[in-house]
Amino acid sequence: MFDYLIVGAGFAGSVLAERLASYSNKKVLVIDKRPHIAGNAYDHYNEEGILVHKYGPHIFHTNSKEVFEYLGQFTEWRSYEHRVLASVDGQQVPMPINLDTINQLYGLNLTSFELDKFFESVAEKVDTVRTSEDVVVSKVGRELYEKFFKNYTRKQWGMDPSELDKSVTSRVPTRTNRDDRYFTDTYQAMPLHGFTKMFEKMLDHPNIKIMLNTDYHEIIDFIPFKEMIFTGPVDEYFDFKFGKLPYRSLEFKHETLNKEVFQPVAVVNYPNDHLYTRITEFKYLTGQQHQKTSVVYEFPRAEGDPYYPVPRPENAELYNQYKKLAEATPNVHFVGRLATYKYYNMDQVVAQALTLHKKLTGGPKDELPA
């Protein structure tokens, strides 16, 4: 008899498995329908020996000391600050939009102060910022919105920014200084030996058993357990009782090139050209030295593995129906990006899992072992 059956070996499932097994001495079975652990953060050495992220670029960043220190028990870190360029009007310019972006794009020599004034002069007045279009046009005006956001978002989400919640484009700030980092979090680092190695260490405990290539439907009636932690799609768990929750998918096209460097930074975004949204070159993320280089192209898709919950009011309403049902389901706990239908980054999922562990065990506030 297992104390917990954990469905999904991504961040949500693996953090809970580790905490329940090592802190709370519970017997845990972790299953995943994929042939590997680490969920969407899975990385591996490809046939040429280059470390790549199978499900697209994963860059770790957080403001939470607790989350950073918790994961630090399972990996050494390599400091890494992420930089992105956007290909616009035949140039590759810094993204998020900053002072250099505007000066380069328009051949100007503005100061930060002048850029502030420029943004003020082009910003559209929006009474209540509700949508992903509102967020951008109210800050930088329509022209920059159309160059950097409109078409990227239409491609990525299959809908206009005006149909998406403001939280989507709010992820990308606008700056009047020259800071060209994609993130400004306190802690920005990559696991030195990759994400999968970190997960292996997390799950390496005598109280944890792992079954891969296993959908929970296949085993649920045969394996005895007391409680379940579910990290798959919440609508699937309830057999789509209230209808399907929309998820956006991606197709990844991986390529290895016979040259040392392909592009000037880790990620180049293509808002207005091509069917893909961005190209990532992995060696920037991992720091690996190699004579060849591996890249991935991301093609947004309506069908396929569920990667992104789609933030818009009617989906939030539909999710709330599932949430009520989830809360009323005894001995099953829903956690993670798919099970709580939230566009969460990795660190937010880790924090959510640590919080659930505290709730389950009524444990002390200080989660970290001495």
Q: Which residues of the chain form contacts with ligand UDP (CB under 6 A)?
A: 86, 95, 148-149, 152-153, 156, 168-169, 171-172, 269, 271
30 binds, among ligand UDP, ligand FAD, none (CB under 5 to 8 A by kind): none
Is 246 a binding residue for ligand FAD by CB under 6 A? The answer is: no
Residues 188-227 contacting ligand FAD, CB under 6 A = 215-216
Residues 55-94 contacting ligand FAD, CB under 6 A = 55-59
Is 250 a binding residue for ligand FAD by CB under 6 A? The answer is: yes
CB 18 within 8 A of CB 352: no
Nearer to ligand FAD, 110 or 223 (CB): 223
Is 346 a binding residue for ligand FAD by CB under 6 A? The answer is: yes
Nearer to ligand UDP, 163 or 227 (CB): 163
CB 229 within 8 A of CB 335: yes
SS (H, E, C) 43-83: EEECCCCCEEECCCCCCCEECCHHHHHHHHCCCCEEECCCE
At closest approach, how far in Å is the CB of 132 from ligand UDP? 6
Q: What's the CA gap between 62 and 285, in Å, rounded?
A: 16
188 binds, among ligand FAD, ligand UDP, none (CB under 5 to 8 A by kind): none
At closest approach, how far in Å is the CB of 169 from ligand UDP? 5
Q: What's the CA gap between 58 and 246, in Å, rounded?
A: 22
Is 10 a binding residue for ligand FAD by CB under 6 A? The answer is: yes
How many residues lie near ligand FAD (CB under 6 A)? 33
Which of the stretches 130-138, 258-266, 271-279, 341-349 binds ligand FAD when contact is defined by CB under 6 A? Answer: 341-349
Q: At what angle do helices 346-361 and 65-72 cross, to 10 degrees?
A: 90
Beta bridge partners of 253: 297
Structure tokens at 51: 């470390």
